[in-house]
Structure 1
Amino acid sequence: MRGTVWAVANQLGVVASTPDGLLSALLSGAPRTVRLATAHKDPGAIAELASLLKGFGHLRVVVEPPAEEPEDRRPPDLADPEAVCTADPVRVTSAYEAAADDHGGLRTAWLRAGQSLIRDQGPARRALVLLAALPSEADPEVRRALARLSEGAPWVLEWSRPCPVAALAVVAGALVVADPSGGVGALDEDAPRPSTAARIKAVAAPDDDTWLLLDERGRLHRHGGAQTPLTKAVAATLESHPGTALAAAADTVLVGDRMGSVHAFGFDGLHQAALHSGRVTALSAAVAPSLTVHSGGSDGVVHAWSPGSDAHRPPVTERPYPVVAVHTSPTPAGSLLAVAWADGLVRLHLPGARRALPFRPGPAVRAVAVTPDGALCVGTGETLVCLRPR
């Protein structure tokens, strides 16, 4: 069943691993057509999912006839990393669902990252995704084998760790992680410190000692540091006009709203720009050399904006899925921009390059961050991974 759900989710640009998760993602949008085609070769699973989806009346479900089955239907060796990276991914999914053994961590990794793995891609990229999703107790031989297989991928995996992530930020060169329970702390701390925010949506730092948190209700919380007239004014504003995204840099606090506007609060006053159609979903700001803000919206567009400037710029990038996270950072190689969308895709835009490096971890992406030395950190509800372009 999981393979069918992942295939439909990929078709419709959402992230889901269960029928209930798929329904939740689809019912939050406009009525649409769902095609259950040949993405999975289990007729029973297709019929079960079709019946479930039709029962809600919100979706038009079309079941197309299956394609011809290959003659060889034997499952691959589930303990062999190379075999599972080169075999039919839908068949591998079915075999791992039925397996009892974890096969050195391969089963756990596959079922965690399967929505990415069932996409059409080469063995090296599949090995990289599996390597990033391996549990910490995975067999070292499996880890080494996947590292060898992933050498043809555009990324090197620096590290991966179990770490539920709600938001990320980089403060004084250190990665700051907020978790779904409201804890926040630097990555190298023994344990996150509890905050006053029930559910954190964003973390920003106007200075090294003060971390600002935006909760799911759009209210501002201060974590450490001292209250300033600026942060007090922003917090008061958000009490009556909740924010949807948050960033800070160069004595400026930036807030997005549900109408598509970005507001820059600074000591020189308030600057505003209507940048998106629909809510602002992500913000990042950097001083390189002047203050530049990158905003992402539910319209799938990423814009660059300089507070105080009325100059119109074309979108930096756009796709037909809501943006869930953006982060930009100056590095020795130039300014890098990371963007994540609701369909699970992350792209790192390199300076001077017309292309961007893609990565799909499998689970829904919650946050991204670019470190000062040019690495990309990707946080999901289960893991935090760090990748470096080759």
Structure 2
Amino acid sequence: MFLAWLVEHATEPDTEAVRRVHALVPLTGHSARTAAWQLAEQLQVSARTPGELLSVLARDRRRTVIVLPDLHESAEPAGIEELACSLVALAHVRVIVEIRNPSARLLAEEPAVMDLAAPQWTDSDRYAAWAAAELSAGHDNSSHPDHHLAPAEVDLDDPASVCDADPVTITTAYESATDSHGGLRAAWLRSGASVTRPQVPSSRAVVLWSALGDDADPRMENELCALAREADWRVRWKRVRGDISPPWPGPVRSLSAGCGALGGTAVVLDHQGVVRLISDNDGRPAGRLQHPVPGAVAVAAASQGTVVVLDHYGRLTLHKSPTASQPSGIAGLLEAAPSPWESLAEKAARHVRGTALACTSTSLAAGSTEGEVHALTANGAESEGASRILHEGAVTALTVAEPAEGGLLVYSAGQDGRVRLWDPDREPLDSPIAERDCEVTALAAAPLDGEVALAIGWADGLVEYSVTGAGHRVRYFRPGPPVRALSVLPGGDVLIGTEESLIRLVPC
């Protein structure tokens, strides 16, 4: 009751920064993993394990206050105590824990202790009135049973039962299980907080479907597909860590839909600088660049089989796809002259040391640590392009689209949590087209039926998909692992790249 009062008054809009509470997780029934999932969601970051949560918060030096009531009623007190102590070790994090009997581990952190059983904090008359009210409320609530299935009724081998059950109960059951449950256990734990969020069973089914490995019981995919009939998405194909046929392409750091000679393929960059080509139809391998690109952070497919790579020093390099034809004879001699793409890359390097990259068949855009975006087109051979400061802080993601009516649209995003739209022939729009208190990690756009389909990936793991024009609604998807890369394919499907998976989704 005391913590409820504290949180209520510490989360009001006008609360001073030093008094604000940023996250509250009542721990009844929670394990360390599920508590970390809930904290990550409230703090607008993406983390699937306590370790990932600690790593993310260690990099974000903002003051953070976390409240953890009812630790004594959790499913894993020792694990949550370890998480709380690790959080306290971060100088900018404060943790308020409610527990009946503090352990030696917690007391070793030398916390400030408030014993609510001490006489100065008690009022027997008010407590009796509160207890009577709680008892009455409990009787009232008993006539309205929870929607979720009771734990005893849950079949961990049955997708329908799992998707309709209390997600915290399912998580703790799968954590302690040794059986694979037809592949559902691995898919659930891989999906993280995405499956524990409040949602209808059909949406949870899509998330599980997208995380199911190729070693799962084939019936599971069919059942999840059927359960997802009412969802906003269906899964065209997916590759997850451990898949063999076709193989998982590795952790995804950047994606680009192929064009021209690379049409029908997607360019995928992994954490070691290896650039692979895969079929966007089924995810099968279609080649790779001959050598890794050390320190690569982004890739973009250009025309004529060219792949543009950006490294962590901000340098652009050009590479020929292994599937591109190699000219010979007089054509080969002419090819020795600088290509239009080499000229574009050279001009871009004069203006920005890139942090983000995007290309179309004729255009290139790069972003900088100062929030500047520079755009060039191959059609304007003598032009140095155009630049604008569009963000506070670094540009973290870029995408470009060439609508059917002509011109170039540049979408940029940054550490400031804003997505901006800019036509280089005009001044940028005054207001962001999307904004959240959360960094953007990925952007992708493509022309679609005379409009533009746009996908935004946020640092808390949310993918937001919309199509310009009246009558279109926004669709959302959370794969579970942090979203590292996005690509919108010509028909409007979305590729989502994470450290654990590569997924092709179809908007319904």
TM over 0.5: yes
Rounded Cα–Cα distance in structure 2 between residues aligned with 1:347 and 1:117: 17
CA deviations on 1:229-249 (whole Å, 9 max, x unpaired) are 653563586499531001123
Tell me, yes or no, if structure 1 residue 359 matches structure 2 residue 477: yes
CA contact 2:289–2:320 (8 Å) conserved in 1: no
Rounded Cα–Cα distance in structure 2 between residues aligned with 1:311 and 1:284: 15
Could you tell me which of 258, 262, 269 is aligned with 2:369? 258
Residues 215 and 36 of structure 1, relative CA distance in 2, 3 Å threshold: farther
Structure with bigger gyration radius:
2
Rounded Cα–Cα distance in structure 1 between residues aligned with 2:397 and 2:360: 15
Please show how residues 270-349 of structure 1 align to structure 2 within 5 Å.
Answer: 270-288=385-403, 289-332=406-449, 334-349=451-466
Residues 150 and 55 of structure 1, relative CA distance in 2, 3 Å threshold: same
- Which residue is 2:33 aligned to? 2
Q: Specify every segment of 5 or more residues in structure 1 that has no aligned partner in the other structure, as ranges.
A: none
CA deviations on 1:323-345 (whole Å, 9 max, x unpaired) are 11111101236310011000000
Report the secondary structure of 1:337's partner residue: strand
Report the secondary structure of 1:283's partner residue: strand
- Which residue is 2:124 aligned to? none
Rounded Cα–Cα distance in structure 1 between residues aligned with 2:493 and 2:348: 35
Report the secondary structure of 2:385's partner residue: strand
CA contact 1:262–1:273 (8 Å) conserved in 2: yes
- Residue type of the alignment partner of 1:260: G
- Which residue is 2:53 aligned to? 22
- Residue type of the alignment partner of 1:384: L
CA contact 2:444–2:454 (8 Å) conserved in 1: yes
Shift of 1:187: 1.2
Larger CA deviation: 344-353 vs 231-240 = 231-240
- Which residue is 1:35 aligned to? 67
Q: TM-score, structure 2 length as denominator?
A: 0.71
Shift of 1:80: 1.1
Rounded Cα–Cα distance in structure 1 between residues aligned with 2:45 and 2:401: 30
- Residue type of the alignment partner of 2:398: L
Could you tell me which of 369, 373, 378 is aligned with 2:487? 369
Report the secondary structure of 1:8's partner residue: helix
Q: Specify every segment of 5 or more residues in structure 2 that has no aligned partner in the other structure, as ranges.
A: 1-31, 101-133, 139-145, 241-248, 280-284, 322-334
- Residue type of the alignment partner of 1:141: R
- Which residue is 1:127 aligned to? 205
CA deviations on 1:128-171 (whole Å, 9 max, x unpaired) are 00000000111111111111111111111111113331111112
Structure richer in strand, relative to its length: 1
Residues 152 and 211 of structure 1, relative CA distance in 2, 3 Å threshold: same
Rounded Cα–Cα distance in structure 2 between residues aligned with 1:357 and 1:64: 38
Residues 49 and 305 of structure 1, relative CA distance in 2, 3 Å threshold: same
Report the secondary structure of 2:366's partner residue: strand
Tell me, yes or no, if structure 1 residue 234 matches structure 2 residue 345: yes
Rounded Cα–Cα distance in structure 2 between residues aligned with 1:292 and 1:211: 21
- Which residue is 1:84 aligned to? 162
CA contact 2:441–2:484 (8 Å) conserved in 1: yes
Larger CA deviation: 70-79 vs 93-102 = 70-79
Rounded Cα–Cα distance in structure 2 between residues aligned with 1:241 and 1:190: 33
Rounded Cα–Cα distance in structure 2 between residues aligned with 1:158 and 1:196: 29
CA contact 2:348–2:366 (8 Å) conserved in 1: no
Could you tell me which of 157, 174, 177 is aligned with 2:268? 177
Rounded Cα–Cα distance in structure 2 between residues aligned with 1:208 and 1:113: 38
- Which residue is 2:253 aligned to? 166
Rounded Cα–Cα distance in structure 2 between residues aligned with 1:3 and 1:224: 46
- Residue type of the alignment partner of 2:433: V
Residues 161 and 42 of structure 1, relative CA distance in 2, 3 Å threshold: same
Tell me, yes or no, if structure 1 residue 350 matches structure 2 residue 467: yes
Q: Which has the higher contact order (CA 8 A, sep 6+)?
A: 1
Rounded Cα–Cα distance in structure 2 between residues aligned with 1:374 and 1:65: 51
Larger CA deviation: 223-232 vs 106-115 = 223-232
Could you tell me which of 307, 332, 349 is aligned with 1:211? 307
- Residue type of the alignment partner of 2:462: L
Shift of 1:384: 0.8
Residues 252 and 37 of structure 1, relative CA distance in 2, 3 Å threshold: farther
- Which residue is 2:108 aligned to? none
